[in-house]
Structure 1
Amino acid sequence: MQQVKAVIARAEGAPVELVTINVPDPGQGEAVVKIQSCGVCHTDLHYREGGINDEFPFLLGHEAAGVVEAVGPDVTSVAPGDFVVLNWRAVCGSCRACNRGEPQYCFATFNATQKMTLEDGTELSPALGIGAFAEKTLVAAGQCTKVDPSARPAAVGLLGCGVMAGIGAAINTGGATRGRSVAVIGCGGVGMAAIAGAALAGSSPIIAVDIDPKKLEQAKTMGATHTVDSSATDAVEEIRRIAAETYPGAEGADIVVEAVGRPETWKQAFYARDLAGTVVLVGVPTPDMKVPDLPLIDVFGRGGALKSSWYGDCLPSRDFPMLVDLYQQGRLDLDVFVSEEIGIGDIEAAFEKMHRGEVLRSVVVL
């Protein structure tokens, strides 16, 4: 066992704390990873606010990259010295999804068996089974995905959650490709990544929708061909108009990614898609939100698909190395998502910046 500095949320709504925690030596199927970088994600704020569950205290942080320090005696997938991006989809290999050859839909993912603790022995709940606002963390070996060790940790670590969720929502879940139009509602970190994913796939037009002019300008640098300020314009009608300019007769975009997680914007996405088009919900709603009241005839009559995207329907072992390679080739700009690099003691201030929409990602660098 070793002791390291880490950031925890001790109680609902309370400011985060930098404390000393105990990290066990890795056991069967486990690895200890020395963290080099970790993004500050909305999910961490949800944990602090009690929006995930009430299993306090939480060890926060999950969008991370680092180097494997030690592994359990039976681990062969990674070894000490490997540079890895951490993931929260460590596929089980034996559930129905895995057995039918679709491990990207595995819901039986696993985490480390042992618990990290406070100095007094209180067990910690690591965010998404990772807990990477720490100098070192204990994870399941399957949560470690080896990638090019020359890649910048602060950039590629973001594939661990938000960037992968957005790119995957567009490509894996939505099926973005050449000849298809894409609209993205909500231009935060995940929405921006969805725009980048649509551009990577060759989709056009790519329509960015938000109420913040600064975000809309930045969306253009990500690959958006058109922007819509929904505070001043009817977003549904504007998406339909733009789509029809490129594809005469279109009644909306082929794929509409909802990256806000609210009933109002999901309803906009529903009506802004073309006939037989696809809605992808990747924004995370709160438990009290309900599917908006829709005439069932509209659900039937428009056809197509209404999907949710869990982690961008990604398979980390397949998608992380590929996207890192594209980043290294200059074909996918991950650096643009890093708004600032901060220290491990600056996370509470980063939450405030994120809440005000001032950053795509603050990244803790250790």
Structure 2
Amino acid sequence: MPERSSRIAVVGAGLAALRAVESLLRSGLDCRIVVLGDEPHLPYSRPPLSKDLLSGDVGSASFRLPDSDHVRWRTATRVVGADLGARRLRLADDETVDYDGLVVATGVRARRLPLPGPEPLTLRTLDDAAVLRERAAGARTALVVGGGVLGCELASSLTDAGIAVQVVVGPDEIPMQPVLGASLAAELRRRHEERGTVFHTGSAVLGYSATGAWLSDGTEVRADLVVETVGSVPNTEWLAGNGLDLSGGLLCDDRLGVAGAPGVVGCGDVVRFPSQRYGGRRVRVEHWAHASESGRHAGRTLAAQLTGSPAPPPFDPLPTFWTDQLGVRIQGLGLPGLGTADHRVLDGQLSGDPVLGYHDRETLVGVVLLNRPEVVGSYRALL
């Protein structure tokens, strides 16, 4: 081991990066850490961007940073390339940063549809939320392109603000069906429609105009505000050329180390890892709790690598998520999406506040609860 302090580079400045920094500082490793984030902001909480878009101050959810002279935060700094063999990063201005240990925490960006016309808004960053909030203040009608959880959450927020909302679901017949299964998704669609939301199913957007969009079934949708919520893309391009598996995210091992790249770990939305809980299936999880948990674990793994200490145990937490829609808190445990073909009501009624179980070959792989926080712990124990 070198006698000097270990040089740690953290690429990305979100929650996962912050937790990795905290973990490294707690490890006792003698290190100097530089955090390189491409946004002009220090770490902030992302859930309020959609959940409190129009009802709260989305800009006030910054995290407390470690009080340490060993950490330097560099915002508005984009990493464009890496030579993992030489342990060197290249920045957009051609500056280079050498490191002994690297934390990849670059997260994801909003996926864009390659369509003609004016570019619609997205909702992924603090700046996105600020623009969307400003535009929504003067809007009477809105079009949300994408019928996933984020799209429906946004539709609910806009409806609460008195805006008439239409949602293009895409190829799925029911919004949120890939995550929640047909029966619960259909019930939530009914509740959205009772509030006035109009869903376009089985059709796709062909292009945008200054006044809305036109669809593949010939429908022209007029809207003051158009927002795309069509998924995400892992930010891995800067790692190309290093022989890594970047398909669908950065592939890590079960301790969040990067195979074939000593001194490199990953955390947060950008990583895929084998989950022993789900038979070694490689999963990528985009949720707040995962960002925290994986950041802490990646920090421990990197500290162990650099000191020659025993590695931490495998990383395999129970995934969790939540969404607030229509005054309902929807909580998910595990990976319900793996069992949407076989999901059953475990308690309550679909029209009320049910608990649903999701099964893969008779094995419970996920649970979704509506307004049932008092029993979350009981169902967590089953998974």
TM-score scaled by length of structure 2: 0.29
If each structure's helix is expressed as a fraction of its own residues, which one has the higher value? 1
If each structure's strand is expressed as a fraction of its own residues, which one has the higher value? 2
Kindly name which structure, 1 or 2, has the bigger radius of gyration based on alpha carbons. Answer: 2
